Amino acid sequence: MKIKEKTLLEVVNSLGMTKEVEIGCEDCFKKVDQFVEMLREGGEPDKIMPLVQEHLNVCACCKEELEALISALEAEDPK
Ligand SMILES: [Zn+2]
């Protein structure tokens, strides 16, 4: 019983910690290509890369980068 409670606490703690993890502009920039690629393929990058999505929500600079990338790709290869 004691072990079970401890495990549960650890899971709760790790979940809490995961939520606090944020990526910076550099990490976002590295993943934004993949993010756009997934978007264009009809995937759900916001579910697969929630941290990138989260960063894009709060960082105007990276959001601009994302939008520029999308328009560049669409100009190059319209779908
Ligand atoms: Zn950023």
- How many whole angstroms from 20 Cα to the centroid of ligand 1? 16
Q: Ligand 1 centroid to 8 CA: how many Å? A: 34
Model-wide pTM > 0.75 = no
Ordered per-residue pLDDT tens for the chain, 79 residues: 666 777 766 766 655 554 557 899 999 999 999 999 999 999 999 999 999 999 999 999 999 999 999 999 889 876 6
The CA distances from residue 45 to 2, 15, 19, 35, 72, in Å, are 39, 20, 17, 6, 19
Question: In angstroms, rounded to a whole number, what is the distance separating the alpha carbons of residues 14 and 21?
Answer: 11
Distance 32 CA to ligand 1 centre (A): 10
Q: Using the mean position of ligand 1's atoms as its centre, give its distance from the Cα of residue 9 in Å.
A: 33
